[in-house]
Amino acid sequence: MQMSKTGHPVKNAVLFDGGRRIMIKPFFIGLAGGSGSGKTTLAQALHSHLGIEKSTIFCLDWYYSDIQQQPKSADGSVNFDHPHALDQQLLITHLDLLKQGKELNVPIYDFGTHQRLKLTKRISTCQLVLIEGLHVLSLEPVRQILDLKVYIDLPDDVRFIRRLLRDQAERGRSLETVINQYLTTTRPMHLEWVAPSRQFADVVVSAQDPVSKMAQMVLGRIQPGWLA
């Protein structure tokens, strides 16, 4: 049995019976790391390499609760970087169903309005499921369902610049709001939740390396039968 660097076995998702390949369960790869570390970029690179027939991407960002349902601080602000900002019950239910090979209607979250759309997205399970998000390794129920756990490391200053550019270009955020959120919630939550989750990783990759090198490091930890 293949062993992870933490000393835990990396679970087999296939068995071989007399040379015959038998599918057991889809192989779940978790990609965690701080905001702006490159989780989505690495997931897309792996998905492109593996192909749409063998892999699919599953994002924790889909599972943010509507802003009206988010717990608020005394000043009325919302901490979107805390694990409680996610609809964890629906998230775990969907991951369990995906592990069973079921098709799902997953939510679509609008980061401009901070609300879940009425539309959903249909996804099907594949041989390899790439699960990416801030709290992929922070949340124990998610960790338990993963077959390979990956943490993406990147210096804080580089991550902040990436986040700033992304949130302004893709989420309609102003410079002031991005900086304020980073200082009040993003950085504190990274230190409290995300950075400590690095200890649970089977492999740690550096986002200062080319994404192709990071992808090869992850692929090298997958049992050959899955890549056939």
In this prediction, residue 228 carries a pLDDT of: 62
Contact 34, 154 (CB under 8 A): yes
**Confidence tier at 14 by pLDDT (50, 70, 90):** very low
Cβ-Cβ contacts under 8 Å for 85 (sequence gap 6 or more): 64, 65, 70, 78, 79
**Confidence tier at 4 by pLDDT (50, 70, 90):** very low
Mean per-residue pLDDT of the chain: 87
Range list of H helices, 150-206: 156-170, 175-181, 187-189
In this prediction, residue 148 carries a pLDDT of: 97
pLDDT: is 50 or 78 the higher one? 50
CATH of 14-227, one of 3.40.640.10, 1.10.3720.10, 3.40.50.300, 3.50.30.30: 3.40.50.300
Report percent pLDDT > 90 for the chain.
Answer: 68
pLDDT tens for residues 136-152?
999 999 999 999 999 99
**Confidence tier at 195 by pLDDT (50, 70, 90):** very high
Closest CA to 94 of 129, 66, 118, 119: 129
Report percent pLDDT > 70 for the chain.
Answer: 87
pLDDT at 96 over 70: yes
Give me the residue spans of the domains in the chain.
14-227
Radius of gyration of the chain (CA): 18
**Rounded mean pLDDT, 183-206:** 96
- Determine which helix (DSSP H) or strand (DSSP E) holds 225, and give its type and residue range: helix 224-227
pLDDT tens for residues 110-138?
988 889 999 999 998 889 999 999 999 99
